[in-house]
């Protein structure tokens, strides 16, 4: 088992090393100018020497992602509950929700910027918009696909609607909430960067734009790597939450910590 | 009489089709207090529907069902139900699954917990109280489901092909376990099955049903002595009863083409 675990880490690391070498030798061999593509070493240098600004800008982007995601979760889950428990609300709003889900919400970013300015409010709104839909739609789907035999069990005991919801429907839907959250957190990072691209004075997306305009490609790459790390860390946090929740989740979810 | 099923019929009126589908055709029978009665019939014949009507989970089109002197109009809290599928709640431990009915009835207290532990001990699962359902085998899961159906001391236990998903050996173990529990609790049991030997081994009375629409084609009184043990399955009396049930089902003629 230990050997397998080791192999499980070793092979991906080997893959990364191979890619980094290929990148490095491509740049050296074809004499690619640093403005077009820096070597991995130059990017690493930049990551180390500019770590203060990367951390402070990363902190801004992290806050946008986390707050926006939290807002989406806090609004999305109760809304999904309302949709799943009220036939009227469901008939009125579920089709609209599905229709809105297919709107490219990123396209609304410039409009949101006009409404809310270039501060964190517009970032939160855009992150909220992209993260909100997967959470609502997945949670509502989970609540409406409660296995028939669980409902039978509750009904055979004359459970009240409230008991049915609290003790059967909601726990049965938790894996769906988790999978919706995984999609949402990934989209949240994209949303934050796009929002910063459209108009901002801080954040890794902003740093990337600034570095690009100064033709400082190593810094742009450093910002890109920081963004990737941020995205992986946030996704990892959701997976971790899933593991902490595991005693309440059905057995067929969250078997391992793989980032799939 | 503990239970009276009187001319119960069930017709499904599906909107798409013109002709309504008759699932059950005027079924009448009586169940004595403490009796073990099996509904035996081919798959999909409507016996499960009849059981669900008795349980109050499905509405009937005609007739009446009286249990313990009261007409059944909906699910009742003095009934226990063991379902066909293994429907333990995966997010709950074994003990919490058994206690589920007590929570719904608002009676989860120390006495309920100790009763759940006792029940789990009688079915040999005292070492698995904290386990999650997926850690148990199918047979063990169905034992938990049995404990769950008994926790609130139901006067009538309804079992819908409870051992259908289990392998032969596990099923035979479960039969002896069920007989022992029945002897201890004196609960009246209605048991749906399509296994001839299962019906005879467990029951005092077997109602044999026809193919859809369900009618009673034979009533077999099983006067085999208690306590019943596995060697009973190989006695002449047992095989004679199996033959009679087989004839009533029509499986002794060639009907396998359906």
pLDDT tens track for A31-87: 999 999 999 999 999 999 999 999 999 999 999 999 999 999 999 999 999 998 888
Look up residue B88 and give its DSSP letter: -
> Can you tell me which residue has the tokens 């148990």?
B136
- DSSP-based three-state secondary structure for B216: strand
Q: Which two tokens stand for residue B71?
A: 């007409």
For residue B16, give how far its alpha carbon lies from the nearest alpha carbon of chain A (Å): 23
CA distances from residue A138 to A76, A100, B210 in whole angstroms, order as listed: 10, 15, 44
Residue B66 half-sphere exposure toward CB, CA atoms < 13 A:
10
Is A251 near chain B, with CB under 8 Å?
yes
Neighbours of B35 (CB within 10 A): 16
- What are B23-67's pLDDT values in tens digits? 888 889 999 999 999 999 988 888 999 999 999 999 999 999 999
The answer to whether A171 contacts B89, with C-beta atoms less than 8 Å apart, is yes
List CB contacts (< 8 A) between B91 and chain A.
171-172, 174, 247-250
Q: What is the mean pLDDT of chain A?
A: 89
pLDDT at A123 over 90: yes
pTM: 0.80
**Nearest CB to B101: which of A157, A168, A250?**
A157
Residue A195 half-sphere exposure toward CB, CA atoms < 13 A:
33
Contact of B158 with B190, CB cutoff 8 Å: yes
**Nearest CB to B134: which of A147, A248, A251?**
A251
CA distances from residue A57 to A183, A223, A230, B17, B187 in whole angstroms, order as listed: 24, 9, 11, 66, 70
A23-32, A248-257, B161-170, B237-246 — most confident range: A23-32
What does the pLDDT read at residue B255? 45
List CB contacts (< 8 A) between B104 and chain A.
154, 157-159, 163, 167
How far the first Cα of chain A sits from its last, in Å, is: 21
CA distances from residue A26 to A13, A15, A34 in whole angstroms, order as listed: 20, 17, 12
Q: What is the mean pLDDT of chain B?
A: 89
B contact test, residue of A142, A146, A157 with most B CBs within 10 A: A157
Is B191 near chain A, with CB under 8 Å?
no
Phi, psi of A234 (to 5 degrees): -65, -40
Q: Which two tokens stand for residue A117?
A: 């300015």
Q: In what helix (H) or strand (E) does residue A165 lie, and over which residues does it extend? A: none
Which positions 190-249 of A are in contact with B (Cβ < 8 Å)? 247-249
The percentage of chain A sitting over the pLDDT mark of 70, rounded to a whole number, equals 93
CA distances from residue A81 to A129, A135, A165, A166, A170 in whole angstroms, order as listed: 18, 11, 9, 11, 9
Q: Which two tokens stand for residue B177?
A: 């376990």
**Nearest CB to A156: which of B75, B90, B91?**
B75
B contact test, residue of A146, A148, A150, A153 with most B CBs within 10 A: A153
- What are A197-247's pLDDT values in tens digits? 998 889 999 999 999 999 999 999 999 999 999 999 999 999 998 888 776
For residue B131, give how far its alpha carbon lies from the nearest alpha carbon of chain A (Å): 11
List CB contacts (< 8 A) between A150 and chain B.
87, 89
Beta-sheet strand order (sheet of B79-82): B79-82, B156-160, B188-193, B36-40, B205-209, B216-221
Is B57 near chain A, with CB under 8 Å?
yes
What does the alpha-carbon distance between residue B143 and residue A3 come to, in Å, rounded to a whole number? 39
What does the pLDDT read at residue A250? 57
Alpha-carbon dihedral of residues A143, A148, A150, A153, nearest 10 degrees? 140
**Nearest CB to A150: which of B77, B87, B105?**
B87
For residue B109, give how far its alpha carbon lies from the nearest alpha carbon of chain A (Å): 17
CA distances from residue A219 to A65, A89, A222, A224 in whole angstroms, order as listed: 22, 49, 5, 8
């Amino acid at each position: 088992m230990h050997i397998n675990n080791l192999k499980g880490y070793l092979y991906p690391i080997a893959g990364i090393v191979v890619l980094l070498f290929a990148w490095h030798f491509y740049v050296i061999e074809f004499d690619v100018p640093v403005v077009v593509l820096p070597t991995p070493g130059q990017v690493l240098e930049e990551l180390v020497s500019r770590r203060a600004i990367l951390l402070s800008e990363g902190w801004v982007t992290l806050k946008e992602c986390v707050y926006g995601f939290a807002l989406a979760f806090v609004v999305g889950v109760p809304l999904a509950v309302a949709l799943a428990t009220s036939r009227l609300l469901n008939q009125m709003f579920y089709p609209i929700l599905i229709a809105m889900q297919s709107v490219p919400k990123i396209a609304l970013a410039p409009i949101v910027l006009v409404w809310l300015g270039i501060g964190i409010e517009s970032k939160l709104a855009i992150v909220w918009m992209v993260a909100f839909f997967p959470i609502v739609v997945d949670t509502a789907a989970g609540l409406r696909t409660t296995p028939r035999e669980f409902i039978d069990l509750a009904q055979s005991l004359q459970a009240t609607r409230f008991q049915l919801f609290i003790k059967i429907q909601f726990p049965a839907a938790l894996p769906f909430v988790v999978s919706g959250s995984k999609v949402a957190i990934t989209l949240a990072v994209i949303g934050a960067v796009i929002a910063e691209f459209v108009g901002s004075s801080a954040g890794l997306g902003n740093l990337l734009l600034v570095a690009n305009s100064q033709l400082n490609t190593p810094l742009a790459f450093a910002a890109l790597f920081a963004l990737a790390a941020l995205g992986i860390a946030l996704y990892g946090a959701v997976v971790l939450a899933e593991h902490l929740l595991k005693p309440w989740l059905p057995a067929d979810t969250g078997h391992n910590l793989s980032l799939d | 009489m503990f239970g009276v099923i009187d001319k119960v019929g069930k017709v499904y009126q599906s909107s798409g089709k013109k002709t309504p589908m008759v699932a059950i055709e005027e079924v009448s029978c009586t169940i004595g207090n403490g009796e073990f009665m099996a509904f035996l019939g081919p798959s999909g014949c409507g016996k499960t529907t009849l059981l669900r009507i008795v349980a109050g989970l499905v509405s009937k089109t005609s007739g009446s069902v009286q249990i313990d002197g009261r007409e059944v109009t909906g699910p009742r809290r003095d009934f226990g139900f063991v379902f066909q599928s293994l429907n333990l709640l995966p997010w709950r431990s074994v003990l919490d699954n058994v206690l589920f009915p007590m929570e719904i009835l608002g009676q989860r207290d120390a006495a309920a917990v100790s009763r759940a532990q006792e029940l789990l001990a009688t079915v040999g699962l005292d070492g698995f109280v904290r386990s999650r359902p997926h850690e148990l085998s199918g047979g063990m899961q169905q034992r938990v489901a049995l404990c769950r159906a008994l926790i609130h001391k139901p006067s009538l236990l309804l079992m819908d092909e409870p051992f259908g998903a289990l392998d032969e050996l596990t099923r035979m173990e479960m039969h002896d376990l069920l007989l022992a529990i029945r002897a201890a609790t004196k609960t009246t049991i209605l048991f749906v099955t399509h296994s001839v030997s299962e019906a005879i081994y467990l029951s005092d009375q077997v109602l044999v049903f026809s193919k859809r629409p369900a009618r009673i084609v034979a009533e077999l009184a099983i006067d085999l002595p208690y306590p019943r043990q596995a060697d009973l399955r190989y006695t002449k009396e047992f095989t004679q009863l199996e033959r009679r049930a087989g004839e009533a089902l029509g499986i002794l003629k060639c009907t396998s083409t359906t």
